[in-house]
Amino acid sequence: MEKRKDNFFNKIYDVVKQIPEGYVATYGQVAQMVGTRDARKIGWALHGNKNLNVPCHRVVNKEGKVALNFAFDGWEEQRKRLMDERVHFIDEMHVNLERHLWER
């Protein structure tokens, strides 16, 4: 069972690695791309990720909100990383999805 979970998580990480700098995807988009309807699984995988080469900061919820419990030091760090990539926010915690949503 653990190997199946690892394979599924690796599929998620492979999709997230495709999100270009300056763009974000939603948990739901990533879920659809890996063949599940459960966006929570995407959050679990990203929260457990320790590989700095997977740009987890580029995944937000369907409203564009950053994750309160972002795995690498909380939502402020996720916001900082996105802002470093010139991603614009409409308020403190919400990405401007009209401008930065990744359309694959």
- DSSP class of 92: S
Where in the sequence numbering do the catalytic residues fall?
A: 56
46-75 confidence digits (pLDDT tens): 988 889 899 999 999 999 999 988 777 789
3 pLDDT tier (thresholds 50, 70, 90): low
Please tell me the predicted confidence (pLDDT) of residue 10.
94
Q: Is 29 left (phi over 0), alpha (psi -120 to 50) or beta?
A: alpha
For the chain, which residues make up each domain, given as ranges?
2-100
CA angle 32, 83, 64 (to 5 degrees): 35
Q: What is the per-residue pLDDT across 20-46, written as a single tens digit (0 to 9) for each? A: 999 999 999 999 999 999 999 999 999
User: CATH assignment of 2-100, given 3.40.50.300, 1.25.40.10, 3.40.640.10, 1.10.10.10?
Assistant: 1.10.10.10
Angle made by CA atoms 49, 59, 84, in degrees to the nearest 5: 95
pLDDT at 2 over 60: no
